[in-house]
Amino acid sequence: MRFTFLLCTCLLTTACTETELFEQAPIHCVDPFVGTGGHGHTYPGAALPFGMVQLSPDTRLDGWDGCSGYHFSDDVIYGFSHTHLSGTGVSDYGDILFMPARGEVNFNNGHESGPDDGYGSRFRKSKENATPGFYTVYLEDPEIEVELTASLRAGVQRYTSAHGNFHVIVDLEHRDELLDHGLNLSSDGELTGFRISRSWAKRQHVYFATQFSRPVKRIEYFPPENPTKAALHFESAYELTIKTGISAVSAKNAKANREAEVFGHDFTEVHKRARKQWIEQLGKIEVTGGKPGARKVFYTALYHTMLAPNIFNDINGEYRGIDGKVHRADHNVYTVFSLWDTFRALHPLFHIIERERTEDFLKTFLLHFEQGGRLPVWELAGNETDCMIGYHSIPVIADAYAKGIRGFDTERMLKAMISAAEEDHFGLAAYRKYGFIPASEEPESVSKTLEYAYDDACIAAFAAMIGDSAVHREYSERAQHYRNLFDPKTKFFRARMNGGWFSPFDPAEVNFNYTEANAWQYSAFVPHDIEGLAKLHGGYEALEEHLDRMFSASSKMAGREQADITGLIGQYAHGNEPSHHMAYLYNYTGSPWKTQEMVARIADELYSTDPDGLSGNEDCGQMSAWYVLSAMGFYPVNPGSDEYAIGTPLFDQTIIRLENGKTFTITASNGVKTGPYIRSATLNEGNYPNSYIRHGDIAAGGSLIFKAIDRAREHLRPGLLSGRRQCPDRPTARRQKLPHRALAGI
């Protein structure tokens, strides 16, 4: 059985033994194997927070569940490569693969013919372990123990064998289509090279420079005339340490990255430094109490939120821009922006605990605009993939600005935002012309119309905040385009075609009018104007009844197969992002106790400590960010505003350590085991009757205390946080006429 740290069930009090306290430290609550099973698409290998290197084993070279290169159900490792994606739905990365082997050199990886006819090796789960910044496995076939750790821009491997005489395979052909490459062993034994490949990113550059702890005795190249692979032999090596720096710019920069970060440090020292950085990162939020196993779920989720975006500039400031050219920046530049997923919760979480880093994200957005003429949509390794829909860098910008992150050129940013909205691709021309996208002109027309309307509301919000009233008015009107696809008869957003509705209509049908979803799962995507949505339904009571039907409906789907629609409660699909805000909408209808109930249910049923403990793709941290924020007791229904809808805390106490030196503490005064329902709340010792909390209240530091109750034991009396229909101060989406004003907080 794979070794994992056990969590003691006691609270962090003097009643705990010293060993129990040690095992409850956040880093020991992280299990990197969570999400590597099922459809989570995560990897277990070594990385630093937001690091360029993700040094991890590759067990799967193709297929949807091979997107990260690893799946928990596999039992063969093909090697250890230096780049991996966390939880995406499309494959890429897996660059610069190393693999120790014994006996006659075989350049075949064994993927097609089996590990007996290749350098791949069998392994056992009982001899595999991972913690933040560290991974180890025992390879059965060459009988070699492999250990991995990393700095920001370099990976360090240690191979140990009781028998010696092993060689190391380097494979540049691994996974993606190879466009260009190079391999060279210098006279002093340094291996350098590059790999330009095509997959999801159309032209990805990775350069590397590798130093070995022992002299290279000889090298074999394959094929000899233009090698893409090599086998390196060493003198009776019983232990070998391999240090590899990478870069998107040059092998020279890759070497400089390696020298700056791991020169003079052995494997143990690099691992020690990685561990220290993870301890500091995970310490940004401290949770105590909660149900058994909840802390492990929480800190594993927090860990996953810190794996992307990834730093992309070298130690000298150089990076490869979206234009394919080499540039230099005076700030950190990042890559891997899965914005259709991450604008919803991951970036709002960063706007609380990663504010300095967020400024660099936003400056990176501007670099994309300056070099490529567009804000990022789904950027990967200096390439715009145009994956997914909308222009969702915009809500990230508006949300950051609304929450006081303003260290960037606002006029330039507004120009970039408007430019994104005025493009003519992906149905935008029709959207502007008709106020919606006809199904005959563009696939996924309903989802695109709804998401463009929301993004436009964020442009209006940002314009209002910086004082541009003309842009504010124009995009406020565009933000209302969502109304044009609402069918008053069925109460769903439907595709329009040839002057009428696309028919026949079944809200459970998955078809090409929606993005990875059906009509149920897009039926409430109007985060900027929930009051307007309620009016379309006939009032808040009718909207609430719609939500009730969604959560209680049959989970049976119709139409085409869509692997992303998972984690179902009724027709709510937690395994994919369009549903993520829906449980919080009961706050707006005046029944926040239903939000509390449903949030607790989702957290309990759809997250666990197992390898398949995620109900869908991790999606670069979004799935985990939902849990982290919800576990603290609030969630950003409307990114771009300064408000969070209150849910229910999953821990007895949560302490957020802010970058301004202050702390914000959320407490369940009589323990979360009492029940998920909130009787009352106090903010900084004053009665707090609202079903939302503003960002400024958190940033100022202080204390939010909830009194939790068990509805089965205590009748819910009328009251805002626990009673139905008592909602005198709903979150700001109630301002239907000017939804942009809610976003701007004015």
Contact residues for 398 (Cβ-Cβ < 8 A; gap 6+):
458, 459, 461, 462, 465, 639, 640, 743
At residue 490, φ and ψ (nearest 5 deg) are -90, -20
Which of 5-9, 56-60, 224-228, 432-436 shows the lowest mean pLDDT across its residues? 5-9
Asked whether the predicted pLDDT for residue 729 surpasses 90, the reply is no
In DSSP terms, which residues pair with 693 in a beta bridge? 644
pLDDT at 16: 46
In sequence order, which residues have a C-beta less than 8 Å from that of residue 18 and are 6 or more positions away?
Answer: none
Please give the domain boundaries of the chain with CATH numbers for all domains. 1-30+285-312+580-746 (3.30.2080.10), 41-282 (2.70.98.10)
pLDDT in tens, 414-457: 999 999 999 999 999 999 999 999 999 999 999 999 999 999 99
Residue 708: pLDDT band (50, 70, 90) is confident
Percent of the chain with pLDDT over 70: 92
- In whole angstroms, how far apart are CA 517 and each of 169, 250, 392, 577? 43, 42, 18, 9
Q: How confident is the model at residue 746 (pLDDT cuts 50, 70, 90)?
A: very low
Q: Which of 40, 384, 100, 395 is nearest to 234 (CA)?
A: 100
Q: Is the pLDDT at 591 greater than 50, yes or no?
A: yes
Q: Which of the pair, 40 or 112, is modelled with greater confidence?
A: 40
Question: How far is Cα 715 from Cα 240, in angstroms, rounded to an integer?
Answer: 66
| pLDDT band (50, 70, 90) for residue 483 | very high
Question: Cα 144 vs. chain centroid, distance in angstroms?
Answer: 33
Mean confidence (pLDDT) of the chain? 92
In this structure, are residues 171 and 218 in contact, taking their beta carbons and an 8 Å threshold?
A: no
Does pTM top 0.85 for this prediction?
A: yes
Phi and psi angles of residue 703, each rounded to the nearest 5 degrees, phi first: -145, 130
Spatial CB neighbours of 723, under 8 Å, sequence gap ≥ 6: 593, 716, 717
Residue-wise burial string across 360-371, b where 16 or more C-beta atoms lie within 10 A, e elsewhere: bbbbbbbbbbee
**C-alpha to C-alpha distance for 188 and 642, rounded to whole angstroms:** 57
Mean pLDDT throughout 345-360? 98
Question: Smallest Cα–Cα separation from 319: which of 91, 90, 88, 153?
Answer: 153
Q: What angle do CA 330, 334, 339 make, to 5 degrees?
A: 140
Instruction: Identify residue 724 by its one-letter amino acid code.
Output: R
42-91 tens-digit pLDDT? 999 999 999 999 999 999 999 999 999 999 999 999 999 999 999 999 99
State how far the alpha carbon of 233 is from the alpha carbons of 122, 148, 165, 583, 594, in Å: 22, 20, 8, 58, 64
pLDDT in tens, 195-214: 999 999 999 999 999 999 99
